[in-house]
Chains A and B, each alone.
Chain A
Amino acid sequence: MIWSTDTGVERFGTFQLAGEAEGQALAFSQPLSFWGGVDAETGDIIDHSHPGLGQNIAGKILVMPSGRGSSSSSSVLAEAIRKGTAPSGILLERPDPILAVGAIVAEFLYAIRMPVVVCDIAGVASGDRIAISLGVDGRSIVSIGRRPD
């Protein structure tokens, strides 16, 4: 698959945890709870009520409106980051305290920075090529490369 950066767009966002990441978007209109929703051993989505059931989040840029559910999601995300089964980055429309805590704890413990960005996610589709980078004054730059039609 070839992505053209010419057809892509750049958006600015704010970091909940700053870092750089690249990967293919895995986009959902429905929030995913890591606790009870993701197997930290494999990165598989295991929530039977979620449209992403059976897909794998490892190395992807997870895109969703918000986080959801129990505070135990912080532990599951931190554990997934430790095991290398986590997304390489997360884009959210609204800030999420639970995912932010999981990502910051993993950075603190394992020096792995999985950026969590709050930005406009409208139009981002699964398969888009996403790059998250550091902009001036601490903002994040999200580059979205479309698949050629």
Chain B
Amino acid sequence: MTLELTAEDRSMLDGEQGPSAAAAMKILVAFSNAVGAGSLLDIAGAHIDGCLYHGKAGLDFVERLVEGGGRVRVPTTLNVGSFDLIHPGMVKMPAAEEAPARRLMKAHLELGCQATFTCAPYQTRFRPGFGEQIAWGESNAIVFANSVIGARTNRYGDFIDLCCAMTARAPAWGLHLSENRRGRILFDLAVPEPEPSDSLFVGVGLFIGQASGDRIPVIAGLPQPRDEDQLKALGAAAATAGAVALFHAVGITPEAKTLDEAFQGHAPEASIRISRADIDQALARLSTVPDGAPLAAVSLGTPHFSHDEWMRLLPMVREIAPARRIPIYVNTGRATLTRLQEEGALAGMEGFGLIPVADTCTYVTSILERLDGVVMTNSGKWAHYAPGNIGVSVAFADMRDCIRSAAIGHVVRSAS
């Protein structure tokens, strides 16, 4: 298929709008040809997963776009970086690595990106609407935007997310197009009257992530979630265990009011039952240590804690009142943190060991004081990646058990 370009696309490609726009369009055209897109389409926003420092090429790319006078052409949010710019000193890193890592975050701002530094841009004022075309990076944000909001993005990543932002265009292919958003594989939750517990959503996410491959999953029988944070946890787990960019939950997500709508009138290509044992097994694999193991820290907020989650956590911490000074790290967006501070919600919380972390996440950079003990988390994503990324042992549990364990000093989990 030949890629059709508009006059505006050609003008960018030919350098009439500066060298940075030209480079971005050239890369976008090559990408679009490679995926077989017939044309480009307009996007309303972008989310860039480019602020974690992985090497010089990534920084050189952004610097070159800055030098060429480049600016993003749509509202563009930024994913987490390697630093907590709000809490200097939180991240421990050699000076030689710190300079380029900080510069990478700042260079993105010079392109006109918003200083959100969050993996949950859907919690900010830049949250897209139903049906909006966007180009997002970061796996949990992609699956949330597509599934929970009904916005439309493919899995964009390195360089190409920024090229979309710089041109306000994306290839007309994949999940941007209605016909490609239909469900392909049915997961039937065969658990009678399931409680909408946080861990149920994580367990279902892990299971469908492993079993879906590149087919869009449709979940039937999922209980109504308490809030969108449970769907956030499901999507993040699915995108961790597999490559899920879109799921439908019948009667819950916006493109799946009915089973028939989720499959756009087609029959499922395959059908899989999820039993209670399947969920328990998927969750058990997240923990590398047994109950009773001594606790070094708790990490919550992967993906970033929403304001609602804080409102559940804070009374719980006051009630259980952990007094052992075991750090309870909570990753959150800077906008959420500002709101909490304005509300005075965090007053006195440091006495219970609570440590808010903004702009970054405890598993991508050096924040944790101790790496030799067990870290407890309510995040399927954190539990999956942290052992490999930062070398900790992990125990997964619901939020309440995490706080109870911090009070007692070792891993305790209720029977559920």
Contacts and interface: CB of A to CB of B under 8 A. Distances in A.
A82 B158 CA distance: 16
Given A106-B57, A108-B23, A109-B61, A75 B158 contact: yes
28 contacts: A17-B30, A71-B155, A71-B156, A71-B157, A72-B157, A73-B158, A74-B159, A74-B160, A75-B55, A75-B159, A78-B57, A78-B58, A79-B54, A79-B56, A79-B58, A95-B34, A95-B35, A97-B160, A98-B158, A101-B31, A101-B158, A102-B159, A104-B27, A108-B23, A109-B57, A109-B60, A109-B61, A109-B64
By size class, the interface of chain A is 20 to 34
Contacts of B54: 72, 75, 79
Interface in A62-108: 70-75, 78-79, 81-82, 95-98, 100-102, 104-106, 108
A101 B30 contact: yes
A73 B228 CA distance: 32
A17 B58 CA distance: 19
Contact of B158 (A17, A74, A81, A109): A74
A40 interface: yes
A75 B160 CA distance: 11
Contacts of B160: 71, 74, 97, 101
* A72, A97, A101 pick with most chain B CB within 10 angstroms: A97
A105 B159 contact: yes
Given A72-B158, A96-B34, A109-B60, A40 B55 contact: yes
Contacts of A98: 157-158
Contacts of B35: 95, 97
B57 A108 contact: no
Q: Tell me the dominant secondary structure on chain A's binding face.
A: helix
Please tell me the size bucket of the interface on B: 20 to 34
B27 A101 contact: yes
Given A16-B30, A75-B159, 17 more contacts: A75-B54, A78-B61, A79-B54, A82-B56, A95-B33, A95-B36, A97-B30, A97-B160, A100-B30, A100-B34, A101-B31, A101-B160, A104-B26, A106-B57, A108-B64, A109-B61, A110-B60
A79 B160 CA distance: 16
B55 A105 contact: no
Contacts of A73: 158
B49 to A, nearest CB: 9
B269 to A, nearest CB: 22
Contacts of A74: 157-160
Contacts of B137: 71
B41 to A, nearest CB: 16
A79 B158 contact: no
Given A74-B160, A75-B57, A101-B159, A16 B34 contact: yes
Nearest to B55: A79
A17 B35 CA distance: 14
Interface in A17-73: 17, 40, 70-73
B3 to A, nearest CB: 12
A96 B159 CA distance: 15
Interface string A105-119: 110111000000000
B28 to A, nearest CB: 9
Interface in B35-88: 35-36, 54-58, 60-61, 64
Nearest to A94: B34
Contacts of A71: 137, 155-158, 160
B159 to A, nearest CB: 5
Interface in B129-179: 137, 155-160
Contacts of A81: 57
